[in-house]
Amino acid sequence: MQRMRPPVWRRYPSAAAFLQAPEPQRAELVRLGARLIASELAEVGINVDCLPVLDVPTPGAHDVIGDRAYGTNPASVAQLGRAACEGLLAGGVLPVVKHMPGHGRAGADSHMALPVVHATRADLAADFAPFRALADMPLAMSAHVVYSAIDPDLPATLSPRVVSQVIRGEIGFDGLVMSDDLSMKALSGSFTEKTERLFEAGLDMALYCWSDLSEAAQVAQASPILDGRRAERAAAALARLHSPEPFDAAVTEAALAPLLAPPVA
């Protein structure tokens, strides 16, 4: 939704902005905000949104996650993240939980460089917790981050060890996992190489978010046909789609008024 901006669409509050609300109201406000986002996406035929961010920032980490995080407490992040998922699903839009298994400790911006996290497995358990709590969601996005305690050589997106032991194992996520954007500088090699390696690692789908047709063609050509277990996960995700549930947009806007910037006519 961040790519759809005023003056046509609303400027929605960041995840962190909801922390200004009294704690008992936060989850409901997050749900309402996501429900309103879903209504605008559905109007233009979009049925997937890369929300919510479940990363838990830690002191000293790079601020790339910044205000996209729902705070620094894993349990609260999980609660608010689930509220966002529920709002999107109620509006007929599939949520994508990200960046699995956690970007909050990264010391670099993965858009620009490859972050390497040296935390212990015990410490990483806190990062994994929100994803484990939302393991029932249909879609997830991988992190271009190296976790040296698990695989010192490969970022999660390209690591069979992280995918099998952590994402599918410890976290227990059996939904469809897509990569983060392959044009990010965290990953080296050609687009063909990066695409082949992510599928070899066990991911289900490659994500390319730029506008270079030659790069996009490499990703498309290196992507296998969606079949087998990958096809089953995709079908299960699509089965979660349904017609938007009724809601009162005016009431929702009124509840969110202190946090919303209205579109410009």
Given the residues 49, 127, 151, 180, select the one marked as catalytic: 180
> CA angle at residue 51 from 6 to 247, to 5 degrees?
70
User: What 3-state DSSP class applies to 178?
Assistant: strand
User: What 3-state DSSP class applies to 40?
Assistant: helix
Given the residues 111, 123, 136, 242, select the one marked as catalytic: 111
89 membership: H or E segment, kind and range: helix 74-90
User: What 3-state DSSP class applies to 53?
Assistant: strand
- Whether 164 and 177 have beta carbons less than 8 Å apart is answered as no
Q: How many C-beta neighbours within 10 Å does residue 122 have?
A: 8
Residue type, position 249, single letter: A
Q: Please say if 180 is a catalytic residue.
A: yes
Could you give the residue numbers annotated as active site? 111, 180
